[in-house]
Amino acid sequence: MNINFSGVSKIFEPDIAALVDINLNIEQGEFVYIIGQTGSGKSTLLRLITRELLPSRGVVAVGGVDMRKINTSDIPYYRRDVGLVAQDFRLIPSLTVYENIAFVMEAMSVPKKLVAERTRAVINQVGLWRRRTMRPSQLSGGEQQRVAIARALANSPSLFIADEPTGNLDFTTASEVMKILFAINAAGVTVVMSTHNQSIVNSSRRRVIELVGGRLVRDEKGGTYVS
Amino acid sequence: MTALKYILRDMVRLVVHHWVLGLLTLITAGVMLWILGVTTLLSLNIENMLTKLESELAVQAYLVKDNTLDVEAVSKKIQSLEYVASMKAFSPADSLAKLQEKMGSQSRALEMLGDNPIPWNFEIHVNRAEDVAPLVNALKEMPEVEDVVYAGMVVRRISALSRIASRVAMIMFILSVVITSLVVYNTIHISLYSRREEIGIMYLVGATRAYIATPFVLEGTLLAFFGALIACGGIIAAYFPGIELIRENLPLLTNILLTDRGIIWRFCALLAGFGATLGWVCSYLVVSRFINSITRPE
Ligand SMILES: Nc1ncnc2c1ncn2[C@@H]1O[C@H](COP(=O)(O)OP(=O)(O)OP(=O)(O)O)[C@@H](O)[C@H]1O
Ligand SMILES: [Mg+2]
Q: What is the pLDDT of residue A178?
A: 92
Residue nearest to atom 11 of ligand 1 (CA): A18
Q: What is the pLDDT, as a whole number, of residue B255?
A: 66
Give the largest CA-CA distance in chain B.
102
**CB of A156 within 8 Å of any CB in chain B?**
no
Q: What is the mean pLDDT of chain A?
A: 93
pLDDT attached to residue A20: 95
Q: What letter does residue B68 receive in the DSSP assignment?
A: T
Give A29's pLDDT tier (boundaries 50, 70, 90). very high
Helices (H), A41-170: 42-49, 75-80, 97-106, 112-125, 141-154
Q: Count how many residues are written for chain B.
A: 298
Domain with CATH 3.30.70.3040 in chain B: 58-150
Alpha helices in A50-111 (DSSP H): 75-80, 97-106
pLDDT score at A98? 96
| For testing contact with chain B, the best of A92, A114, A119 (most B CBs within 10 A) | A92
Rounded to whole angstroms, what are the CA distances from A42 to A2, A86, A198, B53, B107?
Answer: 18, 12, 15, 81, 111
Look at B208 and A73 and tell me if their CB atoms are within 8 Å.
yes
pLDDT value of residue A167: 87
Measure the CA–CA gap between A213 and B137, rounded to whole angstroms: 89
- Is any atom of ligand 1 closer than 6 Å to the C-beta of A14? no
CB atoms within 10 A of CB B179: 17
pLDDT tens, position by position, B151-198 = 766 666 777 777 887 888 888 888 888 888 888 888 888 888 888 888
A43-99 pLDDT, tens digit each: 999 999 999 999 999 999 999 999 999 998 999 999 999 999 999 999 999 899 999
Per-residue model confidence as pLDDT tens digits over B201-258: 999 999 999 999 998 899 889 988 999 999 999 988 888 888 888 777 776 666 667 7
Instruction: State the pLDDT at residue A8.
Output: 95
Helices (H), chain B: 2-17, 19-54, 71-79, 92-103, 108-111, 132-140, 152-193, 196-204, 209-249, 251-254, 261-295
Task: Nearest chain A residue to B3 by CA: give it.
Answer: A109
Q: Do A107 and B5 touch (CB under 8 A)?
A: no
Report yes or no: A192 at the B interface, CB cutoff 8 Å. Answer: no
Residues A159-169 as b or e (16 or more Cβ within 10 Å = b): bbbbbbbbbbb
Whether chain B has a CB inside 8 Å of the CB on A90: the answer is yes
pLDDT of residue B251: 67
User: SS3 for B250?
Assistant: coil
Cα maximum dimension of chain A: 50
Q: How far is the CA of A128 from the centre of ligand 2 (A)?
A: 25
Residue numbers in A near B210 (CB within 8 A): none
- Please state which CATH class domain B58-150 belongs to: alpha beta
Ligand 1 center from residue A196 Cα (angstroms) = 15
Looking only at the bridges linking them, the beta strands covering A159-163 and A190-194 are parallel
Q: Are B217 and B283 in contact (CB under 8 A)?
A: yes
Output the pLDDT for position A44.
96
Contacts of A77 in chain B (CB under 8 A): 206
The amino acid at residue B264 is I
Give residues with Cβ within 8 angstroms of B98, minimum separation 6.
Answer: B90
DSSP summary character for residue A7: E
Interhelix angle A112-125/A97-106, nearest 10 degrees? 130
A41 lines ligand 1 (CB under 6 A): yes
Q: What residues form DSSP beta bridges with B60?
A: B123, B149
Distance of alpha carbon B216 from alpha carbon B280, whole angstroms: 10
- The pTM score is 0.76
Which atom, in ligand 1's list, is nearest to the CA of A36?
A: 21
A76: nearest CB among B6, B198, B207: B207
* C-alpha distances in Å from residue A82, one per residue of A25, A117, B259: 17, 20, 64
What is the tally of helices (H) and strands (E) in chain A? 7, 10
- C-alpha distances (whole Å) from A115 to each of A108, A130, B48 are 10, 18, 60
* Å from CA of A38 to ligand 2 middle: 7
Contact predicate B276/B220, CB 8 Å: no
Q: How far is the CA of B241 from the centre of ligand 2 (A)?
A: 70
A40 pLDDT above the threshold of 80: yes
CB contact under 8 A, A107 and B207: yes
CB hemisphere CA count around A74 (13 angstroms): 11
Beta-strand pair A207-212/A215-220:
antiparallel
Contacts of B62 (CB under 8 A, 6+ apart): B118, B119, B120, B121, B145, B146, B147, B148, B149
Q: Do B297 and A111 touch (CB under 8 A)?
A: no
Query: Which among A32, A13, A58, B199 has a CA at the least distance from the CA of A67?
Result: A58
CA–CA gap between residue A76 and residue A155 (Å, rounded) = 13
Tens-digit pLDDT profile for residues B61-70: 888 887 777 8
Verify whether the Cβ–Cβ distance B6 to A52 is below 8 Å.
no
Task: Pick the residue of A60, A87, A106 with the most B CBs within 10 A to test the interface with B by mutation.
Answer: A106
C-alpha dihedral, B276 to B282 to B284 to B286, nearest 10°: -150
Our answer on whether the CB atom of A42 is closer than 6 Å to any ligand 1 atom is yes
Interface of B to A at Cβ within 8 Å reads 2-3, 5-6, 17, 195, 197-198, 200-209, 211, 297-298
B3-10's contacts with Cβ under 8 Å and 24+ in sequence apart are B3/A106, B3/A109, B3/B211, B5/A112, B6/A106, B6/A107, B6/A109, B6/B211, B7/B211, B7/B214, B7/B215, B7/B218, B8/B215, B8/B218, B10/B215
Amino acid at A54: L
Query: In chain A, what residues touch B298 (CB-CB under 8 Å)?
Result: 12, 52-54
Distance CA B184, CA B8 (A): 19
Start-to-end CA span in chain A (Å) = 29
